[in-house]
Amino acid sequence: MERLRVLYTVNRMDVGGSQTHLVQVLRLLDRRRFEPMLCCLSGHGALLETARETGATVVGAGLGGLKSPKALGAVVRLARFMRGARIDVVHNYLLRANLVGTVAARLARVPVVLTSKRGCHERRGLELAAARLSNRLTDCITANADAVRAFVHDNERCPLDKMVVIPSGVDSDRFAPLPPADYKARIGVAPDRLVVGIVTRQRVRKGVEEFLRAMATVRERLPAACAVLVGEVSLDATLVDLVRQLGLEGHLHLLGPRADMPAVMSAFDLFVLSSHDEGMSNAILEAMAMYKPVVATDVGGTREVVQAGMTGLLVPPKDPAALADAIIRVLSDPVAARTAMGERARQVVVERFSAHAMVRQMEDLYAHLLQARGLGQPAVTPVEAAQ
């Protein structure tokens, strides 16, 4: 039987949660049933080569900004590609691709068109108008958490029955215990330090400043504690001044983007998420899969993952004092208590947030939607919209 052709669209393939998710999907999609392709609208991003390594076809659309005079031409070219490649399903990711990919798919008369929602970031003005237009033009919208589905319904007035929740998943085979080694030394930290790690590529929405303020308080109580920040966040003049004022010089380690995250997370004693808004954080799932206890802000779908008091602690967003108290509480517990918390965290990920289970749900959703149009193969287990 001929494989179904699925095209994923995203604006850029920078290192980020949605892009990492897409790489997992490209890698795990059942090649007996589906032929995956990726269109990176801008043609840029550090994960493009990683996407190619999955064996999926990767193309670019040459799209700059939506206000560019070349934008319409890029949409038309993308529609021609979809027709020529005989795409069965288009699944778009993030705001720009949600709009551009959906319009192009409608022009190309692709049978099934989906968009994705992966966060609880409030849209306003033109962004809100673009989101609502893509919502109307799409057949189905995937959300990665119940909280995201509810938020999109409230913020974008999207009908609940048009959305399907497929929770984020993590590759628990890759993010698993590594052979014993001095992982702290690998990231430039002394073995007797208590490492509090954060992974982010956005400074404001991910609460980097609140994290730094919290760590200043933590160090007053626990001098052995130090902060490790992984991602593309750099110290501009404002943050340099803040680090100096907080007395964190020499106690903050900036690792930049890393491809060896399992090894990096092996050095963490505690993982922190300090976001102002969130969907379902891939980084939390990865840390939990690595047996790490978590302190996280209670935003978006985080409480659907973190079981307060069992696998970590939840605190209000934008509250450095509460964040500091939670970090101190976990780090002050006996090592055995932290270990038990990490073991429960790993169990939750393996049982409920497997990347394999996530991709199987996506595959069955595609087949279910195609079957409803008299096309494709029947789904093994049809995915229905959450009620």
Whether 70 has a pLDDT exceeding 80, the answer reads: no
Whether 275 has a pLDDT exceeding 90, the answer reads: yes
Q: Is residue 271 part of a domain?
A: yes
The C-alpha atoms of residue 66 and residue 83 are separated, in whole angstroms, by 22
pLDDT of residue 385: 39
Q: What is the mean pLDDT of the chain?
A: 92
Q: Is residue 382 part of a domain?
A: no
Q: Are residues 106 and 221 in the same domain?
A: no
Q: Which amino acid type is present at position 268?
A: F
Q: Are residues 41 and 161 in the same domain?
A: yes
pLDDT of residue 65: 64
Residues 167, 168, 174, CA angle at the centre, nearest 5°? 140
Q: Are residues 207 and 342 in the same domain?
A: yes
The C-alpha atoms of residue 46 and residue 13 are separated, in whole angstroms, by 6
pLDDT of residue 17: 86
CATH number of the domain residue 249 falls in: 3.40.50.2000
Greater model confidence, 67 or 167: 167
| DSSP state string for 166-208 | ----B-TTTSSPPPS--HHHHTT--TTSEEEEEE-S-STTTTH
Q: Are residues 129 and 87 in the same domain?
A: yes
pLDDT of residue 284: 96
Q: Are residues 126 and 236 in the same domain?
A: no
The tally of domains found in the chain comes to 2
- Domain of 142, in residue numbers: 4-169+354-372
The C-alpha atoms of residue 62 and residue 46 are separated, in whole angstroms, by 16
Residues 183, 14, 240, CA angle at the centre, nearest 5°? 65
Q: Is residue 378 part of a domain?
A: no
Q: What is the pLDDT of residues 155-174, one digit of tens each?
A: 999 999 999 999 999 999 99
Q: Residue range 113-122: average pLDDT?
A: 94
Q: Are residues 150 and 269 in the same domain?
A: no
Q: Residue range 194-220: average pLDDT?
A: 92
Residues 20, 360, 145, CA angle at the centre, nearest 5°? 60
Greater model confidence, 234 or 89: 89
Q: Is residue 100 part of a domain?
A: yes
For residue 40, the surrounding DSSP H or E stretch is strand 34-40
Q: Are residues 242 and 319 in the same domain?
A: yes
Q: Are residues 341 and 360 in the same domain?
A: no
Confidence of residue 67 (pLDDT cuts 50, 70, 90): low
Whether 187 has a pLDDT exceeding 60, the answer reads: yes
Q: Are residues 317 and 192 in the same domain?
A: yes
Q: Is residue 280 part of a domain?
A: yes
Structure tokens given for 38:
């990726």
Q: Are residues 283 and 366 in the same domain?
A: no
Q: What is the pLDDT of residues 15-53, one digit of tens each?
A: 888 999 999 999 999 999 999 999 999 998 989 999 999
Q: Are residues 117 and 58 in the same domain?
A: yes
pLDDT of residue 1: 65
Q: Is residue 365 part of a domain?
A: yes
Q: Are residues 69 and 49 in the same domain?
A: yes
Residue 195, CA atoms < 13 Å, CB-side half-sphere: 27
